């Protein structure tokens, strides 16, 4: 599963962001963690890609997932 391109747009205080990152860690998927609370350009990119202002937004191989959705994560990674 490590051959996927995964980006997690998150903030440090978001519990669902932490749950999403913990999920990827638990199944051995490497991901890029982007803190949109300090990276204005990344926050704009996230909104443009997903249409969402809330976090987490997860980009898995170009497919956008909003929120902590482990079943969807698994489906996109398989």
Over residues 14-71, the pLDDT tens digits come to 999 999 999 999 999 999 999 999 999 999 999 999 999 999 999 999 999 999 999 9
The model's pTM is: 0.93
In sequence order, which residues have a C-beta less than 8 Å from that of residue 16 and are 6 or more positions away? 55, 56, 67, 68
Q: Which CATH superfamily is domain 6-77 in?
A: Glutaredoxin (3.40.30.10)
The CA distance from 58 to 21, in Å, is 10
The CA distance from 23 to 26, in Å, is 5
The CA distance from 39 to 19, in Å, is 21
Over residues 4-13, the pLDDT tens digits come to 999 999 999 9
Res 18: pLDDT: 98
Res 3: pLDDT: 86
Helix (H, G, I), strand (E, B) or coil at 26: helix
């Amino acid at each position: 599963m490590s051959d996927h391109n995964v980006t997690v747009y998150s903030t440090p205080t978001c519990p669902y962001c932490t749950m999403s990152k913990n999920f990827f860690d638990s199944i051995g998927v490497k991901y890029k963690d982007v803190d949109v609370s300090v990276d204005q350009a990344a926050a704009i990119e996230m909104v443009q890609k997903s249409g969402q202002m809330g976090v987490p937004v997860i980009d898995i191989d170009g497919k956008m997932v909003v929120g902590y959705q482990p079943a969807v994560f698994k489906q996109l990674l398989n």
